[in-house]
Amino acid sequence: MSKQAPAGRPSRPPRQAGKSGRARDSREGSRPSGGRPLAVDPARAVAYEVLRAVTERDAYANLILPGMLRRARLRGRDAGLATELAYGALRGRGSYDAIIAAGTDRPVAEIDPAVLDALRLGAHQLLHMRVPPHAAVSTTVDLVRSVSGPGASRFANAVLRRVGERDVDEWLARVAPDAQENPDGNLAVTYSHPEWIVRGLRDALRGTGRPAQELPELLASHNARPSVVAAALPGLSDVAELTEGPHARPGVLSPVAAVLKGAPDEIAAIRQGRARVQDEGSQLVALGAAAAPTTGPDRGLWLDLCAGPGGKAALLAALLSERHAAGLVGDDAELVAVESAEHRAGLVQQSLAAIRCAYDVRVRDGRTVGEAEPGRYDRVLVDVPCTGLGALRRRPESRWRRAPSDLTSLAPLQRALLESALAAVRPGGVVAYATCSPHPAETRMVVDDVLRGRDDVERLDSPGVLRDLIGSRRLPGHGDELFLGDGPAVQLWTHLHGTDSMFLSLLRRRA
Ligand SMILES: C[S@@+](CC[C@H](N)C(=O)[O-])C[C@H]1O[C@@H](n2cnc3c(N)ncnc32)[C@H](O)[C@@H]1O
């Protein structure tokens, strides 16, 4: 353990100290990305590297973490610790920065970013994990010394000692703005979200008839670790297969879901591509798109207009294959999967590899499909690019990276894609408009705008379609209440359904 300076009001940390070649701690350490070793255990080193990559390179934690864990040879509990440290510090940044600011005379914006990331890791351990305080402080101080030198480590020591003087509730009561005078500011700091997201989610709750009092619960749900759920692809696997060993139990709402207890690759069906990791909300969207009633026979010409990386396309293709085998669709049945980004189209191709149905993955702009193939398809799923405000628990840094301007910049694309989908579907065919955001600007308002002045499209009873799929399954502790609303669209909620907050509006061209 390192020697620590006495607690006190910390002085200014040296900026960019690590780059000037200061004295280093000589202890053996770990550096998952291969550079100079960090004087800290491998799990903390990986977590720190993730935070640095997110801050410096705009990396996505969920994409880089698996490779870093592999390179550091971390598995089991150690991998779990690294993940919890990185995700927790990223999610909690809003609360931790306010608390760190109260522990120093410097604005957080003036702290060397390399030191600040370490302080966030330390604060997460002190305030939200059962790490003994002396270990949380000393490991962080060692880390800062190896990265930024002794001056910065004294600063870190002083800040963290102050942070450790109170528990998280006491700190939040001190540093969050007054709840009466500034309710959004209070929730933003208490639940670690940017204020504009707090406001947007309140509007979203109200707009779907949920009481705004649910907002704290919704915000808190974004800070909890989501369970890992798999979809058993129909015809290739089933829930019974996934749950027959000790590795999974049946899902909550989706008829093809299994909740995993361990790593996905423990399950053979997942290793073989017969089942896929997929949130239950996404499963219900794809199942709903396939189940919504068409007028006239469904020939099996299905289109996924925004397919990458291919989770919903895989489920649609498996369902189509089953229907084909049962003679319910024609011999020319196929799933056309359109994706504008080439590398994501490659992922769609991979996701469909195990499925025995005709499919065609196309790299093109979905906005052009309606004009190119008017009225061709029986079913179109248009799962548009969105802010992802409904999946904040999965992408721990995204809440800090998104901006209100994303809502306005995505809006024309979302409208154009829905218009293209409606042009591509035949009269009597179904369009499923979906987002993984509950924000009104990306959900109701898009559908309302596109349908305004059109009398050739009807809104289907989306809650009714999902209710039939859910069957006798129920949310634990809620009796018969499924919280699907009065329609015509459905908004799923993380705090109510345990799914990502997916929106689904089922529409049908009038025959
Ligand atoms: C929300 S994601 C779709 C997720 C997918 N349905 C799944 O379940 O895996 C939206 C996708 O639309 C793609 N996209 C963006 N603009 C597009 C466009 N103009 N045409 C087609 N795809 C587009 C993005 O690259 C992204 O892969």
Q: What is the pLDDT of residues 297-311, one digit of tens each?
A: 999 999 999 999 999
| 266 in Cβ contact with 481 (< 8 Å) | no
Which range marks the domain in which residue 192 is found?
176-221
Residue 36 has pLDDT above 80, yes or no: no
Q: What is the pLDDT of residues 115-172, one digit of tens each?
A: 999 999 999 999 999 999 999 999 999 999 999 999 999 999 999 999 999 999 999 9
Closest of 398, 416, 232 to residue 306, by C-alpha: 416
Q: Are residues 148 and 184 in the same domain?
A: no
- Angstrom CA distances, 84 to 193, 226, 398, stand at 18, 12, 16
**What's 101's domain CATH number?**
1.10.940.10
User: Is 61 within a domain?
Assistant: yes
Q: Give every CB contact of residue 374 below 8 A, 6+ residues apart in sequence.
A: 423, 424
Helix, strand and coil content of the chain, in percent to the nearest 5, comes to 50, 10, 40
Query: Of 242-246, 365-369, 494-498, which gets the smallest average pLDDT?
Result: 242-246
Residue 230 has pLDDT above 80, yes or no: yes
User: Is 258 within a domain?
Assistant: no
Q: Are residues 82 and 118 in the same domain?
A: yes
Q: How many residues does the chain have?
A: 511
The residue to mutate among 278, 315, 340, having the most atoms of ligand 1 within 8 angstroms of its beta carbon, is 340
Distance 308 CA to ligand 1 centre (A): 5
Residue 22 has pLDDT above 90, yes or no: no
Closest of 338, 325, 435 to residue 377, by C-alpha: 338
Give the residue from 205, 221, 237 where a domain finishes. 221
- What is residue 338's DSSP assignment? E
Give the residue from 163, 198, 213 where a domain finishes. 163
Segment 396-417 shows an average pLDDT of 97
Q: What is the pLDDT of residues 416-434, one digit of tens each?
A: 999 999 999 999 999 999 9
CA–CA distance, 110 with 126 (Å, rounded to integer): 23
Ligand 1 neighbourhood includes 307 CB (under 6 angstroms)? yes
The token pair at 123 is 């604060």
Q: Are residues 95 and 184 in the same domain?
A: no
pLDDT band at 32 (very low <50, low <70, confident <90, very high): low
User: Annotated catalytic residue: which of 436, 470, 496, 504?
Assistant: 436
- What is residue 201's DSSP assignment? H
Surface-to-core class of residue 455, CB atoms within 10 Å of its CB (0-12 exposed, 13-18 middle, 19+ buried): exposed
Q: Are residues 85 and 126 in the same domain?
A: yes
Ligand 1 neighbourhood includes 29 CB (under 6 angstroms)? no
Q: Are residues 362 and 485 in the same domain?
A: yes
The token pair at 35 is 């550079």
High-pLDDT (> 90) share of the chain, %: 89
Residue 236 has pLDDT above 70, yes or no: yes
**What's 449's domain CATH number?**
3.40.50.150
Asked if the ipTM is above 0.85, the reply is yes
User: Is 256 within a domain?
Assistant: no
The residue to mutate among 282, 305, 339, having the most atoms of ligand 1 within 8 angstroms of its beta carbon, is 339
- Which residues participate in the annotated binding site for S-adenosyl-L-methionine? 306-312, 339, 365, 383
- Which residues participate in the annotated binding site? 306-312, 339, 365, 383
Give the global pTM.
0.91
Distance 234 CA to ligand 1 centre (A): 23
Q: What is the reported pLDDT for 72?
A: 95
Q: What is the pLDDT of residues 303-347, one digit of tens each?
A: 999 999 999 999 999 999 999 999 999 999 999 999 999 999 999
Q: What is the CA radius of gyration of the chain?
A: 25
Distance of CA 407 to the CA centre of its chain: 17
User: Is 170 within a domain?
Assistant: no
User: Is 345 within a domain?
Assistant: yes
Q: What is the reported pLDDT for 21?
A: 29
Ligand 1 neighbourhood includes 341 CB (under 6 angstroms)? yes
Ligand 1 neighbourhood includes 298 CB (under 6 angstroms)? no
DSSP E strand boundaries for 283-415: 301-304, 334-339, 359-363, 377-383
User: Is 198 within a domain?
Assistant: yes
Question: Tokens 């019974």, residue?
Answer: 240
- What is residue 14's DSSP assignment? P
Please provide the DSSP assignment of 30-99 as one string: B-TTSSSPBSS-HHHHHHHHHHHHHHHH---HHHHHHHHHHHTT--HHHHHHHHHHHHHHHHTHHHHHHH
Task: Specify whether 357 is catalytic.
Answer: no
Segment 402-406 shows an average pLDDT of 96
Q: Are residues 159 and 181 in the same domain?
A: no
pLDDT band at 9 (very low <50, low <70, confident <90, very high): very low
| 230 in Cβ contact with 270 (< 8 Å) | yes
Q: Are residues 216 and 88 in the same domain?
A: no
pLDDT band at 106 (very low <50, low <70, confident <90, very high): confident
Surface-to-core class of residue 478, CB atoms within 10 Å of its CB (0-12 exposed, 13-18 middle, 19+ buried): exposed
User: Is 425 within a domain?
Assistant: yes
Closest of 464, 467, 459 to residue 505, by C-alpha: 459
User: Is 133 within a domain?
Assistant: yes
Q: Are residues 484 and 377 in the same domain?
A: yes
**Residue nearest atom 19 in ligand 1 by C-alpha distance:** 365
Q: Are residues 408 and 458 in the same domain?
A: yes
Q: Are residues 180 and 158 in the same domain?
A: no
Q: Are residues 457 and 320 in the same domain?
A: yes
Q: What is the reported pLDDT for 261?
A: 92
Give the residue from 221, 238, 255 where a domain finishes. 221
Q: Are residues 55 and 196 in the same domain?
A: no
Closest of 203, 227, 190, 124 to residue 389, by C-alpha: 203
Q: What is the reported pLDDT for 10?
A: 39
Closest of 346, 347, 343 to residue 311, by C-alpha: 347
CA–CA distance, 394 with 378 (Å, rounded to integer): 33
- What is residue 12's DSSP assignment? P
Residue 16 has pLDDT above 90, yes or no: no
Question: In whole numbers, what is the pLDDT of the chain averaged over residues?
Answer: 92
Give me the number of domains the chain comprises: 3
Distance of CA 207 to the CA centre of its chain: 22
CA–CA distance, 313 with 150 (Å, rounded to integer): 53
